[in-house]
Chains A and B, each alone.
Chain A
């Protein structure tokens, strides 16, 4: 009896550890075929591709897609760093983090000879700060900071960020939780750049934001469009995909390109430096750069289309939100990383702003 007990205990411990090991050893299995890749380890947010696009790629090439997800860009970088640029074959993330990824040597240069459809990319979204020579990345969707509002419920005409401070909008604005975007909005109203490193200017923006606090009803990253559609809020500063969803559900909504200037961000794909299946990654990139495939992706994703050739394939219903207006002025600025001191100032004014809303 005694011995059985001890045995059971030890067995249970070993068994559970073995089960664990069994699961993880799968990872190593598929590294033998470098030239004839049969697998692609895709690492990005969930829901970035319609299922049929992934299925068709597998059907066409025989490459199985192994889709892993991260929540924040920062989580991705931390994991990629731990894996020393390995494990994953293709990562899609935001512009500012890619700059750091490249600086840390965690990305490899693209072999453009393998990318027949490379020329389809809209040049507006190329040669940006994170990859000035276009050596490492291929853009996959752009977000543009706009204001969306319901003209039936808002008494004023909103044309820029400054209008958000209007007293008639008390407790009726919903914003996303990205502090560089929201603090940046105040900076823009003060006529500054998003990326100023001047602490006094950031603090001034913080003061300005505190005045906005009474108008803010909520800060939320996910499904903000729902609140606009149900009348919980009447004005929203939200992600582009949310704007697209909101506008599709309620065509009455007005989208404003703020008069103070436009901020935008780009999501882009890159291949990590020690990717186990770089060939498969190139094949996949080339596949999603095809105009028809690309159009499908962007209609699904709801971000601005970064593929010039795909624009004609985008259905009429979506065209207005996924492509820029033809008379669009190029007074645009991207949000970039700032130094540690400026970053901390941003974090601090943001916390103060949030506490002020709670009151």
Chain B
């Protein structure tokens, strides 16, 4: 590989330039991703020590333990939450990214900054903001009661909807940015042409715009689905820890039960399941261009 790199410096033909371009990713992945992955894989087949650490003995027990109903349920819960969140984010985020791409250049930039600025505040602190909004007799309750929509406090905090709102809030920008960067290159003259030919704005959207922004939408789905599988602190903070997710279980096994191998096995399974989900999704949506994404 090194030899080839040197060759490329001298020749710089097409294939070699491309080779140089992917080289950093290859080197980085080989040095810093594969190593830790192998360690995790090995760990998942070892035994835990009585109090702290691991014993170098091969076992399948960690994987067998996952089949206990109580642990299987956490996988189902995680999927349920991830899918609910992803669908809602798609519904909310797609129009946002799409409309954003239609703004004029000046506003596009401003919009990007406006979406980005809240990130300067730690997500924990922002979620505390939501707690204050959702709290019994909090801002939301007072507003709803003032508008005569509800008559008594809703007790929304520490419920499933509160968790979903929190998840959407944290992950929405992934969808927005993804759809935006794909819709931004849309050739609007095509849409206009369709309109001139008598298509309604809806028809024009479905035949042209949607089709052309599909890659952005699809990668947005992948970008929101993956993190939503592992996120659990939102469920802890806004859901009162009542939804048990895989991420949660892994943390407890690692940090409280000191069972690292089991935590590693759970992570391996989660990683494989996520990959499979994305693979199936890619097959269903049948987008060739996303091939190799996962």
Chain A contacts to B: CB under 8 angstroms: 2, 6, 9, 13, 72, 74-75, 77, 100, 103-104, 174, 177-180, 217-220, 222-223, 226, 230-232, 337, 339-340, 343-344, 346-348, 350-352, 354-355, 357-358
Whether B158 and A337, one on each chain, are in contact in the complex, defined by CB atoms closer than 8 angstroms, is no
A75 to B157, CA, bound (A): 30
List residues of chain B with CB within 8 A of the CB of A6: 9, 20
A218 to B242, CA, bound (A): 7
List residues of chain B with CB within 8 A of the CB of A218: 158, 240-242
Closest A-chain residue to B135, C-beta based? A230
Partner-contacting stretch, out of B97-105, B172-180, B184-192, B256-264: B256-264
Whether B20 and A219, one on each chain, are in contact in the complex, defined by CB atoms closer than 8 angstroms, is no
A104 with B244, Cβ < 8 A, contacts A2-B12, A74-B254, A343-B257 known: no
A351 with B237, Cβ < 8 A, contacts A74-B254, A232-B136, A340-B50 known: no
The B interface is mostly helix, strand or loop, or mixed, namely loop
Whether A344 and B259, one on each chain, are in contact in the complex, defined by CB atoms closer than 8 angstroms, is yes
Partner of A337, one of B51, B77, B137, B244: B51
Partner-contacting stretch, out of B65-73, B201-209, B217-225: B65-73
A2 to B10, CA, bound (A): 11
Partner of A348, one of B51, B70, B157: B70
**In whole Å, how far is B261's beta carbon from the nearest beta carbon of chain A?**
11
List residues of chain B with CB within 8 A of the CB of A226: 131
Whether B255 and A75, one on each chain, are in contact in the complex, defined by CB atoms closer than 8 angstroms, is yes
A350 to B74, CA, bound (A): 13
Whether B68 and A230, one on each chain, are in contact in the complex, defined by CB atoms closer than 8 angstroms, is no
Which residue of A100, A350, A351 has the most chain B CB atoms within 10 A of its CB atom?
A351
Whether A343 and B255, one on each chain, are in contact in the complex, defined by CB atoms closer than 8 angstroms, is no
A347 to B258, CA, bound (A): 10
A104 to B258, CA, bound (A): 15
Whether A220 and B236, one on each chain, are in contact in the complex, defined by CB atoms closer than 8 angstroms, is yes
Whether A340 and B48, one on each chain, are in contact in the complex, defined by CB atoms closer than 8 angstroms, is yes
State whether the Cβ of B249 lies closer than 8 Å to any Cβ in chain A. Answer: yes
Closest B-chain residue to A226, C-beta based? B131
A357 to B136, CA, bound (A): 20
State whether the Cβ of B253 lies closer than 8 Å to any Cβ in chain A. Answer: yes
List residues of chain A with CB within 8 A of the CB of B257: 343-344, 346-347
A220 with B255, Cβ < 8 A, contacts A77-B52, A348-B68 known: no
Chain B contacts to A: CB under 8 angstroms: 9, 12, 20, 24, 48-52, 68, 70-71, 73-74, 77, 128, 131, 135-138, 155, 157-158, 236-237, 240-244, 249, 252-259
Whether B240 and A219, one on each chain, are in contact in the complex, defined by CB atoms closer than 8 angstroms, is yes
Which residue of B131, B136, B241 has the most chain A CB atoms within 10 A of its CB atom?
B241
**In whole Å, how far is A93's beta carbon from the nearest beta carbon of chain B?**
13
**In whole Å, how far is B154's beta carbon from the nearest beta carbon of chain A?**
12
A351 with B74, Cβ < 8 A, contacts A219-B241, A358-B242 known: yes
A223 to B157, CA, bound (A): 14
A104 to B135, CA, bound (A): 46
A347 with B253, Cβ < 8 A, contacts A219-B240, A232-B135 known: yes
A230 with B254, Cβ < 8 A, contacts A13-B24, A218-B242, A220-B237 known: no
A103 to B9, CA, bound (A): 56
Whether A220 and B240, one on each chain, are in contact in the complex, defined by CB atoms closer than 8 angstroms, is yes
List residues of chain B with CB within 8 A of the CB of A177: 236, 241
List residues of chain B with CB within 8 A of the CB of A178: 256
Partner of B256, one of A179, A231, A357: A179
Whether A343 and B68, one on each chain, are in contact in the complex, defined by CB atoms closer than 8 angstroms, is no
Can you sample 24 A-B contacts with CB below 8 Å?
Answer: A6-B9, A72-B255, A74-B254, A77-B52, A100-B52, A104-B52, A217-B158, A218-B158, A218-B241, A219-B240, A220-B236, A220-B241, A223-B128, A232-B157, A339-B51, A340-B48, A340-B50, A347-B253, A347-B257, A351-B249, A355-B74, A355-B77, A355-B244, A358-B242
